[in-house]
Structure 1
Amino acid sequence: MNDIADIVDGCRQWKRGSQEELYRQFYGYAMAICLRYANHKEEAVEILNDGFLKVFTHISTYDTSRPFKSWLARIMANTAIDHLRAQKRLLFAEDINKVYDLGSGSDDAIDKLSVDELLTLVQELPPAYKMVFNLYVMEGFQHQQIASMLGISEGTSKSNLFKAKRILKEKIERAASFLKNDNDDLPAQVAKVKK
């Protein structure tokens, strides 16, 4: 495995081998990000390829004193945003000034879910809610950054996050109640409450 600084340097010189090595080393990481925003794997691959094209085109702007993964993650998230905007699938909820706590109650149900099961429920969120949820929870962006990235107000970002969490809470609680009433396993219950 080559050092990332050497690979980046090769990419800046448009060396095909360096580009292939960068793609190979970060494919899984980048694909995981793209899958969080896409509705299906084919769409994630499209976002991924567009994202890597942006990486290779703009690699000269990468600051080598900062972590490469953070820079790559931001490009992949922005590419997903651009993709969903082009598809006209991002419709944001109204602005609210105060986001209320969802309260407890689903903590026990969450403890019973695996990461994959929780991600399956996140995938079922409406596109705008999923986008804000992923940017805030998964990528660690703040509402001010999300608002700037998406061209919305901070209140709209908060509103969409609140509604995404509310929908997830309802789905998790529904899965937990199915589990109490059935002897089926939780993955089957998650599949039942997807819609």
Structure 2
Amino acid sequence: MAPKEDQNEIISKLIQGCIRGDRGSQKELYRRFYTLGMGICLRYANSKPDASSIMNEGFLKVFMHIKTYDFNRPFTAWISRIMTNTAIDYYRTNLRFSNNEDLHDHQYLPISIDAIHDKLNYQDLLLMIQSLSPSCRTVFNLYAIEGYSHEEIAGMLNISIGTSKSNLYKARAKLMEKLKAAEAEAKHGNTITGSISKDVDFND
């Protein structure tokens, strides 16, 4: 009996098939990474239809540029970067940063996503993030979830570092407000998954 292929070998063969333009390989790669791609796009999108549009555009870029993929690097990281960049491109023309205050003299610690995720299920957290304005949502995702610095975000979005900080601050304030509301609902017996921790630190 032939040994079972591990996942890395399977993905490698699918990538090689995509490089050859094999439609079956493209379909299977899409199927395997659909959840990852949609999860990223939903964080940036206003709605699921928007997220689907972003994701499909992202997969088109994946198949167009898959010949440039370096097999020595994790494929998950490569495709995640493409999905994130596609989401940024999709919303860049709609982002409005001009009226935001520059916060050059303040530093804010990253929000503890793990701490929040422990208290909320994914859908609750996703809905809270989606409720943010496009500008605040984009900066929050890039800084708190993707791990980019304010300097990197400023370059990616063509904004000032202070504006990036301002949008992150506003995003945190809005999420804190929603978390407190969710905690109040939980105390009154309304349906929300888990209790909300009072100890989540959003600021220095």
Match of 2:147 among 140, 154, 158: 140
Q: In structure 1, how many angstroms separate the alpha carbons of the residues matched to 2:85 and 2:11?
A: 22
Aligned twin of 1:184: 190
Deviations 1:43-80 (A, max 9, x none): 11110110001111111222221111111111111111
Task: Check 1:100–1:177 CA distance in 2 against 1; reply closer, same or farther (3 A cut).
Answer: farther
Q: What 5-or-longer segments of structure 1 have no aligned partner? A: 103-107, 191-195
Q: What 5-or-longer segments of structure 2 have no aligned partner? A: 1-6, 110-114, 197-204
Q: In structure 2, how many angstroms separate the alpha carbons of the residues matched to 1:97 and 1:4?
A: 44
Q: In structure 1, how many angstroms separate the alpha carbons of the residues matched to 2:117 and 2:13?
A: 43
**Identical aligned residues as a percent:** 50
Say whether residues 1:161 and 2:168 are aligned partners.
yes
Tell whether the 8 Å contact from 1:143 to 1:158 is kept in structure 2 after alignment.
Answer: yes
TM-score, normalisation: structure 1:
0.81
CA RMSD of aligned residues (A): 2.5
Tell whether the 8 Å contact from 1:47 to 1:83 is kept in structure 2 after alignment.
Answer: yes
Q: In structure 1, how many angstroms separate the alpha carbons of the residues matched to 2:184 and 2:118?
A: 14
* Superposition pairs of residues 93-132 of structure 1, within 5 angstroms: 93-99=100-106, 101=108, 112-132=119-139
Give the count of matched residue pairs.
181
Greater per-residue helix proportion:
1
Tell whether the 8 Å contact from 1:109 to 1:176 is kept in structure 2 after alignment.
Answer: no
Task: Check 1:74–1:132 CA distance in 2 against 1; reply closer, same or farther (3 A cut).
Answer: same
Say whether residues 1:60 and 2:67 are aligned partners.
yes
Match of 1:175 among 176, 182, 196: 182
Q: In structure 2, how many angstroms separate the alpha carbons of the residues matched to 1:111 and 1:25?
A: 26
Of 12-21 and 111-120, deviating more is 111-120
Aligned twin of 2:55: 48
Secondary structure in 2 matching 1:121 = helix
Q: In structure 2, how many angstroms separate the alpha carbons of the residues matched to 1:61 and 1:50?
A: 18
Q: In structure 1, how many angstroms separate the alpha carbons of the residues matched to 2:139 and 2:88?
A: 10
Shift, 1:174, TM fit: 2.4
* Superposition pairs of residues 74-93 of structure 1, within 5 angstroms: 74-86=81-93, 88=94, 90-92=95-97, 93=100
Secondary structure in 1 matching 2:25 = helix
Say whether residues 1:32 and 2:39 are aligned partners.
yes
Secondary structure in 2 matching 1:3 = helix
Q: In structure 1, how many angstroms separate the alpha carbons of the residues matched to 2:168 and 2:67?
A: 34
Shift, 1:179, TM fit: 3.7
Q: In structure 1, how many angstroms separate the alpha carbons of the residues matched to 2:105 and 2:36?
A: 34
Task: Check 1:47–1:111 CA distance in 2 against 1; reply closer, same or farther (3 A cut).
Answer: closer
Shift, 1:111, TM fit: 6.0
Say whether residues 1:150 and 2:150 are aligned partners.
no
